[in-house]
C-alpha cells in the first residue's frame, strides 16, 4: 500500500491580494498627486526636479521620456511623469507584498509595511514630485532581494537574476553605476572553489556578465537611435567624482530619524540565526550611507533626504527577501511607524515649501474637499 501524500492547502492564497495591495497604494498616490495638481503645486515641484537638469541622467532621461511619451499625448507632461512613477511604485508594492507573504508575514502586517513606507514623507515627495532620486531608491530596493538569493542559493538562475538587476545601476547614474565592477566580481568571489580555480572563476564571471552585456547593447542601440552618442553617456562620470566637500551629518541624522527600521537589520545582523545573510544585510545598511557620504563629498546634487528614502527602499527589499521572527516583525512595524511620524514632524526641515503647502487642504484636481 502506498502512503497518501499529505494534504496541502492551495498556497496561492497567500499572494492573491498582491494586485489589490498595489492598486490600493496607487489610489493613495494618485490622490496625493491629484491634490498637488489641484493646488497648483504639482508644476512647481516637477520643475524643481526637471529631468534634463539632473547630472548624469542621460540613460535615465532616455528611458523615462520614452515611457512618458506614451502617456503625454493624453495628459500634460507633469501628469505623465507622475503616472509613470505611480505605475512603478504600484509594481514594486505588488511584488513586495507577494514576497512578504511568501516569507510568512501575515496579510495585515504586509499591508502595514507597505502603508508605513509609502506614507513616509520623503518617499511620498520622491514619487509625487517625480524626482530622479526615486530611481535610486527603486534600484537599491530591487538589488537587495537579488543579492540575498545569490548569497543564499547561488545557482545559475540566481546569478542570472542578479545580473539582470545590475543595469538599473546604470540607469540610476554614475553614483551607483561606478559600483558595477564590485557587484560583478561578487558572483565568483562568493564561491570558495572559484577563488582557488581560475577556470571556474572565469566561467562564473562570464555567466554574470552575459545578461548585463546583452542589456547594455540594447540600451546603447536605443540611445543611438535617439541621437545620444557614447561620449555623451560617459561624460557624466568625469564630473561626478570631483571632490566637493560638504556636510554629510545632516543627511545621515535625517536618515536615522526617518528610517529607524535600520535597527531591525542591525539586530538581525548580530543575533545568531541560520537564515542570516551577512553580505545582504550589510549592503542594505551601507548603500544608503554611501549615497549620503558620497553626495556630501562629491556634490552629486541629490536632495538631502535621499539617504533616508534609500534606506526605506533597502529595508523594504530586505524585509521582502528575509524570513524574520514574529517579534522582530512587530518591532519593525513599530520602527516604521516611528519613522513615519518623525518624517512629518521634521517635514519643515527637508520638504519643499510649495509641495508641503500643496498637500493640505485637499484640492483634488480643482475640487476642494477640506
Distance CA 242, CA 65 (A): 28
C-alpha cell at 179: 559600483
What is the pLDDT at residue 345? 93
Alpha helices by DSSP H, listed for 299-325, are 306-321
Distance CA 248, CA 228 (A): 34
- Side-chain half-sphere CA neighbours of 174 within 13 A: 22
Q: Is residue 162 part of a domain?
A: yes
Supply the range of the domain harboring residue 248.
18-349
Q: Under a CB-based contact definition with an 8 Å cutoff, are residues 139 and 168 in contact? A: yes
Distance CA 365, CA 38 (A): 4
Q: Is residue 356 part of a domain?
A: no
pLDDT, the chain, mean:
81
Tally of domains in the chain: 1
Q: Is residue 8 part of a domain?
A: no
Taking CA atoms, 140 is separated from 5, 92, 273, in Å, by 42, 12, 24
Q: Is residue 364 part of a domain?
A: no
Look at residues 221, 164, 219, 168 and name the one whose alpha carbon lies nearest to residue 187: 164
Q: Is residue 355 part of a domain?
A: no
Query: Over the stretch 9-66, which tens digit does the pLDDT of each residue have?
Result: 445 656 678 888 888 888 888 888 777 776 666 666 665 554 444 444 555 555 555 5
> What mean pLDDT is predicted for residues 269-279?
83
Q: Is residue 11 part of a domain?
A: no
Query: Over the stretch 188-246, which tens digit does the pLDDT of each residue have?
Result: 988 888 888 888 889 888 888 888 888 778 777 776 776 666 676 776 676 777 777 77
Distance CA 96, CA 168 (A): 18
Query: Over the stretch 100-110, which tens digit does the pLDDT of each residue have?
Result: 999 989 999 99
Residue 7 has pLDDT above 60, yes or no: no
Q: Is residue 369 part of a domain?
A: no
Query: Over the stretch 109-144, which tens digit does the pLDDT of each residue have?
Result: 999 999 999 999 999 988 888 787 888 899 999 999
Q: Which residues contact 85 (CB under 8 A, 6 or more apart)?
A: 29, 127, 128, 130, 134
Look at residues 82, 86, 103, 67 and name the one whose alpha carbon lies nearest to residue 25: 86
Look at residues 151, 105, 99 and name the one whose alpha carbon lies nearest to residue 275: 151
> What mean pLDDT is predicted for residues 70-85?
70
Percent of the chain with pLDDT over 90: 32
DSSP 6: P
Q: Is residue 354 part of a domain?
A: no
pTM score: 0.85
Amino acid at each position: 500500500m502506498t502512503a497518501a501524500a499529505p494534504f496541502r492547502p492551495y498556497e496561492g492564497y497567500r499572494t492573491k491580494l498582491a494586485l489589490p495591495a498595489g492598486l490600493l497604494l496607487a489610489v493613495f498616490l494618485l490622490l496625493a498627486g491629484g491634490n498637488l495638481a489641484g493646488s497648483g503645486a504639482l508644476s512647481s515641484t516637477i520643475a524643481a526636479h526637471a529631468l534634463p537638469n539632473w547630472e548624469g541622467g542621460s540613460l535615465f532621461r532616455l528611458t523615462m521620456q520614452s515611457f512618458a511619451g506614451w502617456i503625454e499625448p493624453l495628459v500634460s507632461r507633469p501628469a505623465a511623469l507622475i503616472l509613470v512613477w505611480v505605475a512603478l511604485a504600484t509594481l514594486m508594492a505588488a511584488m513586495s507584498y507577494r514576497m512578504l507573504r511568501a516569507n510568512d508575514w501575515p496579510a495585515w502586517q504586509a499591508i502595514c509595511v507597505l502603508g508605513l513606507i509609502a506614507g513616509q514623507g520623503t518617499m511620498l515627495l520622491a514619487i509625487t514630485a517625480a524626482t530622479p532620486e526615486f530611481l535610486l531608491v527603486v534600484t537599491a530596493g530591487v538589488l537587495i532581494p537579488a543579492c540575498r538569493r545569490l548569497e543564499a542559493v547561488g545557482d545559475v538562475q540566481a546569478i542570472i537574476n542578479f545580473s539582470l538587476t545590475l543595469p538599473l545601476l546604470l540607469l540610476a547614474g554614475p553614483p551607483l553605476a561606478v559600483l558595477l565592477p564590485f557587484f560583478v566580481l561578487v558572483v565568483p568571489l562568493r564561491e570558495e572553489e572559484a577563488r582557488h580555480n581560475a577556470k571556474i572563476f572565469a566561467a562564473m564571471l562570464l555567466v554574470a556578465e552575459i545578461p548585463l552585456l546583452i542589456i547594455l547593447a540594447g540600451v546603447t542601440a536605443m540611445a543611438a537611435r535617439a541621437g545620444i552618442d557614447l561620449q555623451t553617456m560617459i561624460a557624466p562620470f568625469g564630473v561626478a567624482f570631483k571632490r566637493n566637500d560638504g556636510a554629510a551629518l545632516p543627511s545621515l541624522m535625517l536618515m536615522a530619524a526617518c528610517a529607524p527600521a535600520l535597527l531591525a537589520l542591525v539586530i538581525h545582523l548580530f543575533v545568531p540565526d541560520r537564515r542570516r545573510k551577512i553580505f545582504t544585510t550589510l549592503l542594505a545598511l551601507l548603500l544608503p550611507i554611501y549615497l549620503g557620504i558620497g553626495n556630501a563629498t562629491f556634490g552629486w546634487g541629490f536632495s538631502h533626504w535621499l539617504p533616508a528614502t534609500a534606506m526605506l527602499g533597502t529595508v523594504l527589499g530586505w524585509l521582502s527577501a528575509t524570513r524574520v521572527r514574529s517579534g522582530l516583525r512587530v518591532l519593525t512595524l513599530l520602527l516604521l511607524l516611528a519613522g513615519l511620524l518623525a518624517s512629518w514632524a521634521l517635514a519643515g526641515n527637508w520638504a519643499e515649501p510649495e509641495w508641503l503647502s500643496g498637500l493640505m487642504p485637499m484640492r483634488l484636481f480643482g475640487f476642494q474637499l477640506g
